[in-house]
Structure 1
Amino acid sequence: MSLIRKKMYRIIEPAEKGDLSSKVFDLFMLILIVSNILAVIFETVKPHKFYVYFEFFSVIIFTVEYLIRIWAAPENPLYRHPVTGRLRYAFTPLILIDLIAILPFYLPMIVGFDMRIIRVFRLFRIFRIFKLGRYSKAMHLLGRVFRNQKEELLIVVFIMIFMIIISASVMFYVENSVQPNHFRNIPQTMWWAVSTLTTVGYGDVIPATILGKVLGSFISILGIGLFALPTGILASGFTEEIRLHRAQTGRSPSRGSFCRHCGKPLD
C-alpha cells in the first residue's frame, strides 16, 4: 500500500523531467480544467445535455483527484503524520481550491433544491480556473512574482485608497452645494473618484464648477501615474524571476557569471 501511495503521489505532483506518467496526468488535468471553464461559459449561450454529462464526468475526476491528494499527503515530509498531516494539508490553499471546484455539485444535495441557491453554487464552478495554478508553469511564475512583490504592491494599494479618499473628500466639498444629488456624501463621491483615478470616466457623474473641473483634470493626470505603478512593479518582478530561472537552469547566455542557486551575479 505504501508503494502504491508513493507512486500516486509522484504522479499527482508537478511532473519532473523525464517523468512521463506525471506529465500525461498534468496534461490531462490541464485540458479538463480548460474544458470546464469553456463549458461554464458556453452553457450560458445554449443549454445542452452534453454539459450536464460533462459536468458529471468532471466532478468524478476532480473528486477522485481530491481524495487521492488527501490520501497521499503523508508522502510529503511537511504532512508526514497520517491524521494531523492530512488535516493540515486539507486546509492548504490549492487543496481548498480543489474542494471549491467540486462543492457546487454536492452542496445542492445537502441544502435542498432551491433554484436560487443552486444558481449560486453553480457560479462557484468558475473557480476551477484557479486549479490551473497547479499545472501551469506560467501560473507558478505569476504566483512567485506576487509573493516577492507583495510589500511593494501593498504600499501601492494603500496609496490608491488614500488618493480615493482624498479625491472624494475634496470633490464633495467643492461640488456638493451645486450638485447635491450627484455628490450627496463622501462615500457616494468615491464612485466618481474611482472612475476618474482609473481614467475610466463613465460620464454619469461630472463636476459642474470650474474648480471642480480643474480638480478633476488634476486627479485624472494623477491617476495615470498612480495606476502605472503596479504595472512597473510586476514587470520588474517578472524580469527578475525570468533572469533567476535562466541562471538556475543554465539557460542564461552568461550562466557562468551567476549563482545557480540564488541567481545573483558572481564577482
Structure 2
Amino acid sequence: MEKIGLKKQVYELLNNDSTTIGSKIVQGSIILLIILNAISLIFESIPEIRMEYIDWFVSFNLFSIFFFTLEYLLRMWTITCNPRYSKAFSGRLRYGLTSLQLIDLLAILPFYLAFIHFDLRILRLMRIFRLLRVFRITKYVSALAIVVNVLKRKSSELAIAAFLLVFLLFIASTAIYYAENSAQPEAFSSIPSSMWWSVITICTVGYGDIYPITLMGKIIGGILAVIGIGFFALPTGIISSGFSEVLDERKEERKALELSQLHHSTKCPCCGREKE
C-alpha cells in the first residue's frame, strides 16, 4: 500500500491537472527549465559566447538531460495511476507513443546516442530536437493546451488545406517552368527548382532573386500572387473557427459547473443562510 501511495503522490506532482502546491512548484520548475534550455540553445549558437562559457553550457546541458530523463522515467512509471493507461505494459506503451511523450524522448535521445556507435553527422542533425523541449510547455500552460486542442480538432481540415497548397505548388511550378525555361534556363532549370519561386510568390514575399521575364510568366506570377493572398485566409479561417468552438465549449462547461455547485450548495445564494 505504501508503494502504491508513493506512486500516486508522484503522479499527482507530475500531473498538470493537479491543484496542489507541490504540483504547481514542480510544474513551474519544469517550465522554467524548458525556457532556460531554449535561451541556452540560442546563446550557445554565438561562437564568442560559446567559447567563453563552454563549461557552463556543458554543465547546464548535463543537468537538464538528467532532470528530463528522470521526469520521463517517473512519468512512465506512474502513468498506470491513470485509468486510461492502467495496464502495466500496454498502457505504458500507448502512453509512450503519445505525441508529448515522443517529444520528451526526442529531446533527450541525442545525448544518449553519443555513447553508442552512431553516425556523428546524424547526431549533429538530431541536436535540433533540443528545441522540442519548448513545446513541452503545452503540458503545463492551459492557454497553449487550447492551441493544441484546436489543431487536433481541425487536423483534417488543415490537412486538406496543406494538400491544396502542395497541389497548387506543383501546378504553378510546372506552368512557370514551361513559360520561363527557354528564356531563363538557369533560373528555371527544372520543375523542382521552380518550386522555390512558387513558394515565395504564393507567400507574397518576392525576394527578387528569381522572377519571370516573359509575358506568360508574368501573367502566371500575377495570378499566383493573387491566389496566394486568398489561400492563406483558408487555414486562418479554419483555426479561428476552431478557437471559437473550443472557447464556447469552455464557457458552457463553466456555466454547467457553476449551476451544479449552486444546486448542491447548502446555503441560500441570496442571504447566505443554511437551507433547511
TM-score, normalized by length of structure 1?
A: 0.87
Residues 1:30 and 2:31 aligned together? yes
- Secondary structure in structure 1 of the residue aligned to 2:114: helix
Gaps of 5+ in 1: 257-267
Task: Judge which range, 157-166 or 86-95, deviates more.
Answer: 86-95
Q: Which residue does 2:208 correspond to in 1?
A: 203
Change (3 A) 1:150 1:122: closer
Q: Which residue does 2:128 correspond to in 1?
A: 123
Does structure 2 retain, via aligned residues, the 8 Å contact 1:15–1:23?
Answer: no
Letter in 2 for 1:108: A
Change (3 A) 1:80 1:115: closer
Q: Which residue does 2:100 correspond to in 1?
A: 94
Deviation at 1:121, TM superposition (A): 4.0
Residues 1:227 and 2:232 aligned together? yes
Q: Which residue does 2:267 correspond to in 1?
A: none
Q: Which residue does 1:105 correspond to in 2?
A: 111
Does structure 2 retain, via aligned residues, the 8 Å contact 1:15–1:26?
Answer: no
- C-alpha distance in 2 between matches for 1:21 and 1:144: 26
Partner residue of 2:143 out of 138, 160, 172: 138
Q: How does 1:184-195 map to 2 (within 5 A)?
A: 184-195=189-200
- C-alpha distance in 2 between matches for 1:4 and 1:30: 24
Does structure 2 retain, via aligned residues, the 8 Å contact 1:39–1:51?
Answer: yes
Question: Percent of pairs identical after alignment?
Answer: 40
Does structure 2 retain, via aligned residues, the 8 Å contact 1:172–1:186?
Answer: yes
Residues 1:238 and 2:238 aligned together? no
Change (3 A) 1:151 1:115: closer
Q: Which residue does 2:4 correspond to in 1?
A: 2
Q: Please identify the structure whose Cα radius of gyration is greater.
A: 2
Residues 1:83 and 2:85 aligned together? no
- Secondary structure in structure 1 of the residue aligned to 2:185: coil
Q: Which residue does 1:212 correspond to in 2?
A: 217
- C-alpha distance in 2 between matches for 1:147 and 1:133: 13
- C-alpha distance in 2 between matches for 1:190 and 1:120: 25
Deviation at 1:197, TM superposition (A): 0.9
Residues 1:57 and 2:58 aligned together? no
Change (3 A) 1:166 1:116: closer
Change (3 A) 1:118 1:176: closer
Q: Tell me how large the CA RMSD over aligned residues is.
A: 2.1
Change (3 A) 1:203 1:53: same
Does structure 2 retain, via aligned residues, the 8 Å contact 1:100–1:124?
Answer: yes
Deviation at 1:94, TM superposition (A): 1.5
Deviations 1:150-189 (A, max 9, x none): 1221221122122111111222222222222222222222
